[in-house]
Amino acid sequence: MFGSHLLESTRRRFLQLSAAGVGTASLSGWLKALANNPAAAPTQRSRGRVKSVILLWMDGGPSHKDTFDLKPDSKGAGDFRPIATSVPGIEISEHLPQLAKWMHKGTIVRGMSSPEGAHARAKYNLHTGYREGQGGLSYPSIGSIVACEKGSPEASVPNFVSIGTRTYGSGFLGPKYQPLIVTSPSRGVEDLKATVSERQFDNRLGLLGEMEAAFRGQYKADVIVDHKTAYERAVQLMHSQEAKAFDISLEPSAAKSRYGSGNFADSVLMARRLVEVGVPFIEASLGGWDTHQDNWTKVKSNSQQVDAAMSALIADLNERGLLDSTLIIWMGEFGRTPHINTRGAKPGRDHYPKAWSLAMFGGGMAGGRVIGRTDKEGAIVEERKVAPVDFLATVCELMGIDHTRKNETPTGRPVQIVEKPNAFTQEIL
Amino acid sequence: MRRNRVLPIAALLVAVLLLAQTTETVAQTPKQVQQFKQKLRQQEVRKKLRELQKAKEAARKAKAQANEKTKAAEKAKAQANEKTKAAEKAKKKPTPEPESTPAPTALTFQPQVPAELTAIPEAQDAAAFAKRIDDQIDAALRNENITPSPICNDEEFLRRVYLDITGVIPTLEQTRKFLDSTDPQKRSLLIDELLADPHYGRHLADQWIPKLYPKESNNRFVLKEPLYNWFQNQFNQNTRWDQFVFDLVTATGTVEDNPAVTYYLANRSVDKLTDTVTQHFLGIQLQCAQCHNHPFTGWKQQEYWGMAAFFSRVVPQNPRNANRGGDNMKIGVTEGTTRTKLRDFFPEATMDVAAKFLGGPEPKIAPREPQRPVLASWMVAGDNPYFARAMVNRTWAQLFGRGFVNPIDDMHPDNPPSHPELLSDMARIFAGSGFDVKFLTKAICLTNTYQRSSRPTAGNENDDIYFSHMTMKVMIPEQLFDSVTRVAGPTLEAVAKNRQEKAQAGKRRPGNGARDQFVTFFLAGSEAASTTEYEAGIPQALRMMNSRLAGSPALARNIAGAFSKPETAIENLYLTTLSRRPTEAETARLTGYITQADNANTAYSDILWALVNSSEFTMVR
């Protein structure tokens, strides 16, 4: 599935890193893996094991120095203390205590560095790997890419579901790979229930079927068949057992309460239910991270929500044997300034795309790894800079998607899924 | 089809070579073979055409040289007039305008259509033009041995022409009136009537605005409505296309005074301007040449930046957040005398070269002279090699689902037209008519080719090149929304319209009204809908089935309920939704359905639901 050039480039990159003499945390993990099993080729076998991705989008840009990359001795350290995790040497925020216990299943990428510092443009860039407006095209988001590459066209549940948020869609790939948007997780999918009784709905479908057959018989156009397919899939979803995944009221209340309460908790719970019915990409979001003011109050409260929902999610997936095939991503559009601003009574931190963190759990990763390192202020990436394309390519590789493949735009332009990435897959498997 | 992975070019070439030599060794579908043969033929035709063209060119040059002198004299005169006018204007306005308000440029539009084109008789006579089109289409069909489908019936024609020209299905009354009329001229009369309907301009604006106003975060404060309304009005007033485009390309001033400047505000970089202008008005995809010489078309990077140079002095003002006091009606566009210093206006790949017409010469532009009018004059000239062809191809594609060249804005030598002579001929006549878009549309709608049934007949099912039968088109979301609200009746239609306008007026930001929301939902992220592919997915189908849009009992009663006889009710439901009368079989079947139902009104609502959800409703047949 992967061309030899890919292995080649990975090897080359390793040599480059070695030559540069960077034998620190992130790389040592990989070296250790090699050392343990010197005969094994760099874990090729583990690629493509991921069947589903849950993207937990931290809207507004979470402060890396107050979540996954604490710098207690820096000038702009802030109020929070780091705590130990299940992996010796890796510390995270004191407000993520339950998540800390799962660190051995997770990877922190502390080397994120991206080009956009305005919300909309940064979100676009992190979702698609391209700059907004680049080349006059509208690019597909990672969810649509996954739906297109790994989704089943016959699945009764759409291959890309976005819960509680409007997100970036399929761009030039077209509406087939658009997300199904669940506006409110407690209400479920809009329009999923018929407005009439089941019996009457069946009558209506019967009439429609007759009309369709007659029209198709006379006009024989492909578009009529496509219309039929879309309707059949929609009806199938309405009637399917899988559609119950959207109904979180069916979840036992004890299990539900572990996720916490509120929209985000409900979204994460629904995401787990959707993974169980095989949806390959689910996005759920938690807002309130744009903490220009009153940073610590807000980050603390957000962290508590994340801590409860994410640790419950990891535990549930683990219990069901789905953790290795499900990749959970925690990220926003950028980090926040390493220094604390001086505006207002309750200061905060401003946008900072130059150095920031994201976290990944499950996904068959070795776990307990850190990719990249920032300086003592958390201001500069000193080792293993990770660009948005590097990250997206890694997600693709974990899912077994060949990101060097080109999709064609409606006007026939070939566009590579991810352009010129430097993935870190080898370093985390 | 078009979203398939790209075959490596080399593999494609090998396949083509193999196919040319040993057809039997390569597994190809008959359709592919047919398409390939057609391509070969087209290439031969092109060669011959080129030779012919050369001979013609030489003759024309000699003539043009003679003309040139007279023209130059006229131009000098016109320019002299212009100066006097400007001087007079200056006198009237002794106080100079404040610096923040950009002043309009003095250079104005001059039609430049060669007399030989104006003299073509078909350029003044739509019926004759239609016949000229039919003759050439029919010749190609005979040549290919393809039998065309018969002329469509009145019901097919009515719904098709309403949707194609006005973007919405006819009302019950309009349907009855047309179907019951015995006037032999009724089709032609209806075309005229619809071209005069204000919905005509709206439908065209719906198709144009997404191309010229990209939906992106940079544009969140740029008002869309002024540009939309300007397009709508230009089309409705039938401004000649050369002037329309000239005015857009040279637009200067504030949004308030000249809404066309919105195009510049919504594309605030030189590459976006170059890409959109060449793509949409010249039918050429130049964007790849921004960073490298184009692999297929032969366009060089130099050529790209030569075109881009015409926009290098444009200064679009940055829109500001209206909530923080920005009035985005008051911002605008100027053209400076030096290269623009705006941030991000020039991309990294920029090459600073002299302004040069695409595939043409470098014009002499005085250092302080505005550059855009020079470009615009060249673009819209009657003998520009791209301009008229691009519009003819686009208009044809709007009506037939595909152009002579496809993709419609990707004209280059390796992507030849299906009907090369016809396209050139139509472009000349279109220019000769004074770039009259309504005239062009009318002529096409009058053709037998346009009026053919979309029902294929034996032997022409697989033809999607020669226009042997009408393409089944899928409604764009705007057509679907307007048609569904039209089914809902005049009252609800008015309510929807009113709400949309209020929402727009209130916030003056795109995407607020019910119509915008519906369109966004159905477009689901893509920029523009395709009319030849059914692209709606599960969420859209769910919305159509389960929102209150379709199958409301009250609505069904409205349409059908005033009649005691089921037959009449059924007929009304069909006329309202599908713009046709039900067949006998349909009437019999549905009468049975109604009589068996516990409640006739419930049964009507079921029928209405099925009709609105049917592919026949959502297609333009």
Residue A34 has pLDDT above 80, yes or no: no
Whether B542 and A190 lie within 8 Å, measured CB to CB: yes
Lookup result for tokens 């899988």 = A242
Q: What is the pLDDT of residue A178?
A: 82
Query: Could you tell me if B204 and B308 lie in one domain?
Result: yes
Collapsing DSSP states into helix, strand and coil, what is residue B45? Answer: helix
* Residue B247 lies inside a defined structural domain of this protein: yes
* Residue B561 lies inside a defined structural domain of this protein: yes
Sequence-separated (6 or more) residues with CB below 8 Å from residue B175: B158, B575, B576, B579
Chain A touched by B535 (CB under 8 Å) = yes
Query: What's the token pair of residue B224?
Result: 């869309």
Chain B touched by A199 (CB under 8 Å) = no
pLDDT digits over B306-342, tens only?
Answer: 999 999 999 999 888 877 778 899 999 999 988 999 8
Tell me the H-state helices in B309-447: 372-379, 387-400, 420-432, 437-446
Residue B236 has pLDDT above 60, yes or no: yes
Q: What is the pLDDT of residue B98?
A: 38
Whether B532 and A223 lie within 8 Å, measured CB to CB: yes
Query: Could you tell me if B206 and B315 lie in one domain?
Result: yes
Between CA B517 and CA B527, with CA B523 as vertex, the angle to 5 degrees is 110
Phi-psi region of B193 (alpha: psi -120 to 50; beta: other; left: phi over 0): alpha
Work out the pLDDT band at B527, boundaries 50, 70, 90: low
Q: What is the pLDDT of residue A372?
A: 97
Q: What percent of chain A has pLDDT over 90?
A: 71
Residue B71 has pLDDT above 60, yes or no: no
Residues of A in contact with B343 (CB under 8 A): none
Between CA A252 and CA A256, with CA A255 as vertex, the angle to 5 degrees is 80
Phi-psi region of B385 (alpha: psi -120 to 50; beta: other; left: phi over 0): alpha
Query: Could you tell me if B305 and B218 lie in one domain?
Result: yes
Mean pLDDT of the region A228-254: 91
Q: What is the pLDDT of residue B526?
A: 61
Q: Sign of the CA dihedral A160, A164, A170, A175?
A: positive
Collapsing DSSP states into helix, strand and coil, what is residue B604? Answer: helix
Q: How many interchain CB pairs under 8 A, A with B?
A: 189
Between CA A335 and CA A343, with CA A339 as vertex, the angle to 5 degrees is 100
Residue B86 has pLDDT above 80, yes or no: no
Query: Could you tell me if B337 and B252 lie in one domain?
Result: yes
Residue B297 has pLDDT above 90, yes or no: no
Chain A touched by B522 (CB under 8 Å) = yes
Residue A121 has pLDDT above 70, yes or no: yes
Query: Could you tell me if B248 and B322 lie in one domain?
Result: yes
Q: Among B548, B581, B603, where does a domain finish?
A: B548
CA B243 to centroid of chain Cα atoms: 17
Residues of B in contact with A416 (CB under 8 A): none
Strand A414-416 and strand A406-408: pairing? antiparallel
Interface test with B, best of A139, A166, A178 (most B CBs within 10 A): A178
Whether B606 and A230 lie within 8 Å, measured CB to CB: no
Lookup result for tokens 């690629």 = A47
Q: What is the pLDDT of residue A218?
A: 93
Whether B524 and A189 lie within 8 Å, measured CB to CB: no
CB < 8 Å from A in window 247-266 of B: none
- Average pLDDT of chain A is 87
Residues of A in contact with B2 (CB under 8 A): 408, 410, 412
Between CA B520 and CA A250, with CA A331 as vertex, the angle to 5 degrees is 70
Work out the pLDDT band at B54, boundaries 50, 70, 90: low
Residue B56 has pLDDT above 80, yes or no: no
* Residue B141 lies inside a defined structural domain of this protein: no
Work out the pLDDT band at A215, boundaries 50, 70, 90: very high
pLDDT digits over B590-620, tens only?
Answer: 999 999 998 888 999 999 999 999 999 999 9
Query: Could you tell me if B231 and B265 lie in one domain?
Result: yes
Collapsing DSSP states into helix, strand and coil, what is residue B78? Answer: helix
**Shortest CA gap A377–chain B (Å):** 30
Residues of A in contact with B547 (CB under 8 A): 191, 195
Q: What is the pLDDT of residue A20?
A: 37
| CA A124 – CA B418 distance, rounded (Å) | 39
| CA A263 – CA A269 distance, rounded (Å) | 10
Q: What is the pLDDT of residue B106?
A: 41
Chain A touched by B2 (CB under 8 Å) = yes
Q: Among B372, B398, B433, where does a domain finish?
A: B372
Residue A267 has pLDDT above 50, yes or no: yes
Choice among A36-45, B362-371, B448-457, B461-470 with the minimum mean pLDDT: A36-45
CA distance to A272, A310, B144, B418, per residue, from B407 (Å): 43, 47, 23, 12
Name the residue of chain A whose CA is nearest to B289's CA.
A135
| CA B272 – CA A173 distance, rounded (Å) | 21
Q: What is the pLDDT of residue B295?
A: 63
pLDDT digits over A299-344, tens only?
Answer: 999 999 999 999 999 999 999 999 999 999 999 999 999 999 988 8
- Average pLDDT of chain B is 83
Could you give the count of Cα atoms lying within 13 Å of B89 in the half-sphere of its Cβ?
Answer: 12
Work out the pLDDT band at A135, boundaries 50, 70, 90: confident
CB < 8 Å from A in window 103-132 of B: none
**Shortest CA gap B549–chain A (Å):** 11
Chain B touched by A61 (CB under 8 Å) = no
Interface test with B, best of A172, A204, A220 (most B CBs within 10 A): A204
Burial of A419 (0-12, 13-18, 19+ CB in 10 A): middle
Name the residue of chain B whose CA is nearest to A119's CA.
B217
* Residue B41 lies inside a defined structural domain of this protein: no
| CA B153 – CA B162 distance, rounded (Å) | 14
Chain B touched by A211 (CB under 8 Å) = yes
pLDDT digits over A89-107, tens only?
Answer: 999 999 999 999 999 999 9
Q: What is the pLDDT of residue B550?
A: 77
* Residue B463 lies inside a defined structural domain of this protein: no
8 A C-beta contact, residue B560 and residue B604: yes
Mean pLDDT of the region A136-151: 93
Chain B touched by A138 (CB under 8 Å) = yes
Q: Among B548, B576, B596, where does a domain finish?
A: B548
Query: Could you tell me if B238 and B336 lie in one domain?
Result: yes
Q: What is the pLDDT of residue A296?
A: 96
Query: Could you tell me if B480 and B608 lie in one domain?
Result: no
Chain B touched by A118 (CB under 8 Å) = yes
Extended beta strands in B398-540, E state:
473-474
* Residue B566 lies inside a defined structural domain of this protein: yes
Query: Could you tell me if B487 and B572 lie in one domain?
Result: no
* Residue B48 lies inside a defined structural domain of this protein: no
Query: Could you tell me if B253 and B283 lie in one domain?
Result: yes
Mean pLDDT of the region B485-504: 76
* Residue B237 lies inside a defined structural domain of this protein: yes
Chain A touched by B596 (CB under 8 Å) = no
**Structural domain range at position B231:** 199-372
Pick B581 or B297 by higher pLDDT.
B581
Of A191, A208, A224, the CB nearest to B610: A208
**Shortest CA gap B506–chain A (Å):** 23
Extended beta strands in A72-225, E state:
82-84, 91-93, 106-112, 160-163, 180-182
Q: What is the pLDDT of residue B414?
A: 85
Chain A touched by B276 (CB under 8 Å) = yes
Whether A227 and B546 lie within 8 Å, measured CB to CB: no
Residue A16 has pLDDT above 50, yes or no: no
Name the residue of chain A whose CA is nearest to B596's CA.
A203
Of A136, A228, A231, the CB nearest to B275: A136
| CA A355 – CA A76 distance, rounded (Å) | 15
Query: Could you tell me if B478 and B602 lie in one domain?
Result: no
Query: Could you tell me if B476 and B569 lie in one domain?
Result: no
Q: What is the pLDDT of residue B286?
A: 85
Closest CA to B603 of A265, A203, A351: A203
The count of structural domains within chain B is: 3
Choice among B75-89, B94-108, B279-293 with the minimum mean pLDDT: B94-108
Query: What's the token pair of residue B263?
Result: 């195009």
Chain B touched by A416 (CB under 8 Å) = no
Work out the pLDDT band at B505, boundaries 50, 70, 90: low
Work out the pLDDT band at B24, boundaries 50, 70, 90: very low
Give DSSP secondary structure letters for B278-298: HHHHH----GGGGTS--TTT-
CB < 8 Å from A in window 439-498 of B: 454-456, 461, 471-472, 474
Mean pLDDT of the region A391-413: 92
Of B2, B288, B539, the CB nearest to A410: B2
Most confident by average pLDDT, A218-222, A253-257, A311-315: A311-315
Residue B121 has pLDDT above 60, yes or no: yes
Choice among B82-91, B327-336, B408-417 with the minimum mean pLDDT: B82-91
Of A180, A211, A227, the CB nearest to B539: A180
Residues of A in contact with B216 (CB under 8 A): 132-133
Name the residue of chain A whose CA is nearest to B275's CA.
A136
Give me the residues paired with residue B315 across strands. Answer: B334
Name the residue of chain A whose CA is nearest to B523's CA.
A175
Q: What is the pLDDT of residue B151?
A: 98
Residue B63 has pLDDT above 60, yes or no: no
pLDDT digits over B551-596, tens only?
Answer: 788 888 888 866 678 999 999 999 999 999 999 999 999 999 999 9
Query: What secondary structure, in 3-state letters, does B534-580 show?
Result: CCCCHHHHHHHHHCCCCCCHHHHHHHHHCCCCHHHHHHHHHHHHHCC
Residue A29 has pLDDT above 50, yes or no: no
Work out the pLDDT band at B99, boundaries 50, 70, 90: very low
Mean pLDDT of the region B497-525: 70
Q: What is the pLDDT of residue A374?
A: 97
